[in-house]
Amino acid sequence: MNESVLSELSIYLRVLGGAPASRVPRTLRIVCGFLLAAAGAYSQTPLTNLNFELATTVPIPGDPYQRLVFSNAFPYWTGYCGAVQQDSALFNNIFLDSAGIALVGTNFGQPYFGGLVKGQ
């Protein structure tokens, strides 16, 4: 049994008011180690579809930055920058000096960012 599992077990036992790990029988330490490892393995969730392909580009009329309506660009999503809810998003553009949200399409032409990440 490795040292990190033993130290975690020792911490758990001390929190519960029990004995240090060196006084706990070896079989109990092994069983608890396997239980802790199994709990970590089940915490992984499968990759899910985030529905980004449902985006529609509806420009905000008269906007000097040519931003989009956030609710149409990211349906079923709510965007925040810090604690401020966003109602607009850039399209194929980037923020250089502030936080913001942007929708990047396949024709995004910013070579200094290395292009798009391709996936399925």
pLDDT tens-digit map of 36-76: 666 655 556 677 777 778 888 999 999 998 899 999 999 88
The DSSP 8-state label assigned to residue 17 in this structure reads T
pLDDT for residue 51? 77
pLDDT tens digits along 10-45 = 555 555 555 555 566 777 777 767 666 666 555 566
Domain ranges in the chain are 3-41, 52-106
Helix, coil or strand: residue 70: helix
**Residue 37 buriedness (CB in 10 A; 0-12 / 13-18 / 19+):** exposed
Crossing angle of helices 3-15 and 26-41, rounded to 10°: 100
pTM summary value? 0.54
pLDDT for residue 14? 55
Q: Which is it for strands 68-69 and 88-91: parallel, antiparallel or unpaired?
A: antiparallel
What is each CA distance from 39 to 4, 10, 20, 47, in whole angstroms? Answer: 15, 17, 22, 19
